[in-house]
Amino acid sequence: MDYNNYKVSSTTETKTRANKFLNTAVMMNNDNHSCHQHHEEEEEEETHCWFDDACILDMDYFVKTLSGIKQKGVRSDLIGSIITHYASKWLPDLSSSTDIFSDNKDRLTSPESVTASWLKKRFFVETLVGVLPPEKDSIPCNFLLRLLRTANMVGVEGSYRLELEKRISWQLDQASLKELMIPSFSHTCGTLLDVEIVIRLVKRFVCLDHEGVKSGAALIKVAKLIDSYLAEVALDANLTLSEFVSLAGALPTHARATDDGLYRAIDTYLKAHPSVSKQERKGLCRLIDSRKLTPEASLHAAQNERLPVRAVIQVLFSEQTKLNRHLDWSSGSFSGLRSPCNGSLDTPLRCLSKREMSAQQMEIRKLKEEVYRLQNQCNAMQVQLERMVEKKKGLFFKLKKFGIGNRSSSIVGEVEKIMEQESGRFGRETPMDLKSGVLGVMTPHKWRKSTS
């Protein structure tokens, strides 16, 4: 970009336009006009008309004029809109659309060297960061993300990048997934996207949440955004497990209303990285709270061969607990409706029709059948685990006669060892595969409350 090309030929004309721009800005501020993008089309056309007076100014005159506007007490949101429009006109990388720059192609293309163009872009970005208003909400978050992306591309000073990251983290809940996917321009980074920047942004935002600056709704928005980002970056074969875990664990546990998005991201990572060891899979699954999975996600997890057996069992236990609670609630509600002593004398309950009572009984019957099915599945899995443990113990006692081996501390330890050694045999067997075995069990074992 050649800054000499967009300088006005006449210095007098430049000063005239600068003064006109200054006076118009002050007048719009006094009339309480706004220049946000979501306002009426007529107001946008009027705003863009006098924005064009600013866009013909070179950087020096623009900074001087902007300083005069600040001294006149113009609102920070109006100043932010001026900066955003000016930057988007002269640096297409800072715009969310490239169509509006079709008339600037001649001015943006010049025969100058790549190094000179790179240095001018760097100066342009550093100057923009320096004139940003101090109010943190005066500049849209997506524009700041595009500015940070350009800053990393041209290699601006670290202090400017730090200032941008602080501003972005303040309003990270307003960011979009498209703008958050900042490419990595470092030669030492193997991933396509710059994950380290996102980790820093999330950690700063969480610190603001701990200080009580941000609301819980903003934290939930950020959690959804990060889960979507994790699902995208998980496809990168060069993404390390530590980077994935660091970003997923940067958010507190109460940030996610459900863990469906996190589960989808972990499943995507396991699918794109089949060489992940069993211990690493267990570490990834510890990030998921099985109690916060929806029934659809739990059903998918129960049949997912990429998950460890222990994670599948935890999902089944959680679903069984949810069904038991729902069953107790439904039974209590149903018995309460049938019992007249539970109702208030002042507001008598309406008698249920036969159709409504039949529908409730059908729902309770379905819940009981679902609980019984899950119990049978878990019982069948426990039977197989006990058989494998007994088989292992028999071999252990035979070896002990010859003075080999030590006594195990618990059955859980035996199960862990067996699952490590026989992952190909039982580790890939999902609860749905055990259905045929369950049908053959005439008298199921007593239900165990231990989750170990």
pLDDT by residue, tens only, the chain of 452 residues:
444 444 444 455 555 555 555 555 555 555 554 444 444 344 444 445 545 555 555 777 778 888 888 887 778 888 888 888 888 887 776 766 544 334 444 444 455 678 888 888 888 899 899 989 888 888 999 999 999 999 999 889 989 999 999 999 999 999 999 999 999 888 777 789 999 999 999 999 999 877 777 778 899 999 999 999 999 999 999 999 999 999 999 999 899 999 999 999 999 999 999 999 999 999 999 999 999 999 899 889 988 999 999 898 888 888 888 777 776 665 555 455 444 444 443 444 455 566 777 777 787 777 777 777 777 777 777 777 777 767 766 655 555 555 544 444 444 455 555 555 544 444 444 444 433 443 344 444 444 444 43
Predicted local confidence at residue 10, as pLDDT:
45
Instruction: Answer yes or no: is 162 within a domain.
Output: yes
**Domain end: 170, 201, 234, which one?**
170
For residue 444, give the nearest of 365, 374, 368 by alpha carbon. Answer: 374
Same domain, 124 and 252: no
Predicted local confidence at residue 242, as pLDDT:
94
Which two tokens mark 93?
Answer: 């990388």
Instruction: Answer yes or no: is 8 within a domain.
Output: yes
Q: Where are the alpha helices (DSSP H) in 287-423?
A: 295-302, 309-338, 354-401, 411-421
> How many other β-carbons are positioned within 10 Å of the β-carbon of residue 184?
18
Same domain, 165 and 180: no
Same domain, 161 and 91: yes
Instruction: Answer yes or no: is 437 within a domain.
Output: no
Same domain, 152 and 53: yes
Instruction: Answer yes or no: is 148 within a domain.
Output: yes
Same domain, 229 and 153: no
Same domain, 136 and 199: no
- The domain tally of the chain equals 2
Instruction: Answer yes or no: is 322 within a domain.
Output: no
Instruction: Answer yes or no: is 370 within a domain.
Output: no
Predicted local confidence at residue 45, as pLDDT:
47
Q: Print the domain residue range for 85.
A: 1-170
Same domain, 55 and 158: yes
Predicted local confidence at residue 140, as pLDDT:
92
How are the residues of the chain apportioned to helix, strand and coil, as percentages rounded to the nearest 5? 65, 0, 30
Same domain, 179 and 166: no
Instruction: Answer yes or no: is 445 within a domain.
Output: no
Predicted local confidence at residue 424, as pLDDT:
47
Instruction: Answer yes or no: is 363 within a domain.
Output: no
Question: 410: buried, middle or exposed (CB in 10 Å: 19+, 13-18, 0-12)?
Answer: exposed
In this structure, are residues 139 and 113 in contact, taking their beta carbons and an 8 Å threshold?
no
Same domain, 48 and 140: yes
Same domain, 100 and 193: no
**Domain end: 235, 255, 288, which one?**
288
Global model pTM greater than 0.85: no
Same domain, 213 and 135: no
**Domain end: 253, 288, 323, which one?**
288
Same domain, 134 and 54: yes
